[in-house]
Chain A
Amino acid sequence: MRVDPNLSSLLNAGIQGTEQALNTAVQQVATGQRVNVPSDDPAAAAMNLQSLSESASVDRYTKNGEAVLSQAQMADSALSNVVNELNQAITLGTQGADGSMTSENRAAIATQVQSVLSQVVSQANTTLNGASLFSGTSAAVPAFVADGASPPGYSYQGNSGVNSSAVGDNLQVNVNVPGDQVFTNPNGNVLGSLTQLITALGSGTTTDIGNAVAEVRSALANVSQQRVLYAGVVNQINAQESYLSQETISLTSQQQSLTGIDMSVAVSNLTQAQIAHSTILAAAAKVLPTSLLDYLK
């Protein structure tokens, strides 16, 4: 049987093939990616997109967690100041309830309690990035404004709404505790009890002062109780953050295995492609110049 005398076209096809393999190998080494366009591996490209979207979700949960955390920490430090102020008010009130106190002394104490009240109100009006921490979901700034008509002398501008933020696929944490729940709670009214104490110190009996101090104590208990809510949120977020950072690592490695290529594999592919290419070039160099004419001298 006659054979194809046209060796060069066979060799050309072979050289093109190994050249293409070499190109692919070089590209994989250079980019570290096995899938550069969807047609390189359609299933992996599609799964990679989903995995990237999960990564974006994890990033977003982490960011939300950080934002909630900074609000919770700020609110907690405001409430911790309020606790200190209330403790001071209790001490002052207990002093004022002493029967040996003159009305001048009580008036002086009342002034001190008044400054405690202003301190507390300023904590209650704490803002972060221009938004009140204790105005519920109303976006009112400030949360509490002086209002003579209202019994404690201040009226709440916010509402009882609570915002929540997603820090996991099925995990929402509360972003805020509404101001009326902290400062004007019927079970321990911070602003009301302080106003009551000032009034009692100004005009009342030791019994009134004692009652007012008791009110301040229950307000203190309430504030401490509300602080626990923030502490709970902080704990949740801290726990979630370590889970999320694990998740980021596993998603990144998933994406790497879907579309990336292991460097050792890429380099060994490149070596193989180089060997195949130089082999066929060597074959071409040997075969192509050979002709019967060389021997007819």
Chain B
Amino acid sequence: MIGLGGTLSIATDALGAQTAALEVASNNIANANTPGYSRQVVTLSSAASVQNGTTVDEGVSYQGFTSVRDAVLGMAINAATSNQGGLTAQNTLLAQINSAFSGTTTGIGASISTLFSDISALSTNPSDPSARQTVLSDASALADAFHQGAAALSSASSAANQQVSSAVAQVNELSQQIAALNGQIATSEGNGGDAGALTDERDELTTQMAQIIGISTTQTGEAPTLTTTNGSPLVIGNSSYQLQVSTAPDGTAHVLDGQGNDITKELSGGTIGGAITTRDNTIPALSQQLDTLASQFASAMNNAQAAGYDLNGNPGAAMFTVPTTGSAAAGITMTLTSGSQIAASSDGATGGSGNVKTLLAVQSSNLPNGADPIASYASLVGNIGFAGSQVSSGLAATTSSLQQLTSQQDSESGVSIDEETANLIRYQQAYSASARVISTINDIYTTLMNMSLGEG
């Protein structure tokens, strides 16, 4: 049997429980726009005990609050974020390369056409010194165009190196912060508290890290273990493992794990993965294609020169020199010093233009790479375009799937102001009702007091 005292204590507990619920709702509202914040829900349960074989209701019991989050969804978001980070890095670098190769009236293709047009003009007036000088400056301009093409590719490479270096520094900072949070979370949960906000912060930092480097998360015991995708540890419990950057002899930035092993090739995803993929796979393939074009074009032109005679009746000298080591496109130089050295004549007659045909044939003949010079260049530009469009459409797809995942996560964990407002009203009403119970009990007590006083 319950007395008035019991009812009073039920109402008092209820006041406390509703106050706690109001506090959770107000905390949710306060953090409605905090990135990574997961909404919290109060856990209330009806308290009861069994006394002498009879169930006795003892009102409401406040069991604390829990954060609503879905760990699997979180991992999917991290994976998509890594993917997006990688593609963003690639997209930035490839956009840079694409705009460098977007010229239709400038650049290597146009320079090749101009060179051949001016060589062709020699056919009608081969001894005209100004026409010869024009050919010479066209050839220099073409060598410069090759240099610029090579420079566009190598500057994208060095941008990638900078990205790797600065991204590694960010990863190291984040892994320290995450390890510190893991320590605090362990302490807080060990004391029986809910580390909700701390866990949210850690998850947010983890997602930030996923943007920079591909990570995999394994839940072992209390805290998740963070490693790179190839398994090099980043954070285990409350200790973090620092990555290092070392510069290879060729100037490329390599990533070393905590033990000093070179893990550059194994990394994927995130800014680091994207920059490394572009630097080590995409750009070298394009550079090689450009270098092949430069060296094969140079030797074809030199062969055509050697087939003829210059204005002074000497056998044609080499028009271009390419370095034997290193990039042909970056090192190609125009070696003729005078317009008279253009080998227009096929027989040594100074006014002959028989060899112009041979020089022009270079434009329409296939180089050893299987295509004529313009087609080779067009295929290079096509490949640059394909690399760019592939990455940008991949980026668009990943961004929209990340958008969906985030929306799905928000539908689980996001704070709805409307919902919290409705909750506030509910808790407020329950609070008022409990307070009314107390005042009712108070009235009853007063009545009882007055009654006994009146009898006395």
Contacts and interface: CB of A to CB of B under 8 A. Distances in A.
Interface size range on B against A: 35 or more
B349 A159 contact: yes
Contacts, number: 192
Nearest to B388: A39
Interface stretch (A5-13, A220-228, A276-284): A5-13
Contact of A60 (B120, B386, B407): B120
Contact of B381 (A46, A129, A136, A163): A46
Scoring B95, B352, B360 by chain A CB atoms within 10 A of each residue's CB, the highest score goes to B352
A36 B388 CA distance: 13
B415 interface: yes
Contact of B407 (A4, A50, A56, A63): A4
Contact of A38 (B363, B381, B411): B381
Interface stretch (A64-72, A93-101, A103-111, A244-252): A64-72
A61 to B, nearest CB: 8
A221 to B, nearest CB: 28
Contacts of A52: 104, 109-110, 113
A252 B158 CA distance: 39
Contacts of B114: 56
Interface in A153-179: 159, 161, 163-166, 169, 172, 175
14 contacts: A3-B411, A5-B418, A6-B414, A13-B403, A37-B95, A38-B385, A42-B386, A49-B377, A56-B117, A59-B117, A63-B117, A136-B351, A291-B418, A296-B421
Interface in A91-146: 129-131, 135-140
Interface stretch (B7-15, B124-132, B139-147): B124-132
B278 to A, nearest CB: 14
Interface string B375-393: 1011101111111110010
B113 A39 contact: no
Interface of A: 1-6, 9-10, 13, 36-43, 45-50, 52-53, 56-57, 59-60, 63-64, 67-68, 71, 129-131, 135-140, 159, 161, 163-166, 169, 172, 175, 259, 291-293, 296
A292 B417 contact: yes
B264 to A, nearest CB: 27
Contacts of B161: none
A163 B421 contact: no
Contacts of B69: none
B378 A50 contact: yes
Contact of B351 (A71, A131, A291): A131
A37 B407 contact: no
B233 to A, nearest CB: 33
A64 B110 CA distance: 19
Contacts of B427: none
B374 A165 contact: no
A40 B350 contact: no
B353 interface: yes
B411 A2 contact: yes
B382 A45 contact: yes
A53 B407 CA distance: 50
A2 B408 CA distance: 9
A138 B350 contact: yes
Nearest to A5: B416
B385 A10 contact: no
A90 to B, nearest CB: 33
B431 interface: no
A40 B385 CA distance: 7
B410 interface: yes
Given A5-B410, A59-B117, A161-B347, A291 B382 contact: no
B406 A9 contact: yes
A36 B102 contact: yes
Interface in B98-113: 98-99, 101-102, 104, 109-110, 112-113
A3 B407 CA distance: 9
Contacts of B104: 48-49, 52, 259
B153 to A, nearest CB: 14
A268 B333 CA distance: 49
Contacts of B417: 5, 291-293
B71 interface: no
Contacts of B125: 67, 129, 131
Interface string B351-364: 11110110010011
B320 interface: no
B345 interface: yes
Interface string B57-86: 000000000000000000000000000000
B48 interface: no
Nearest to B352: A137
B407 A39 contact: no
A63 to B, nearest CB: 6
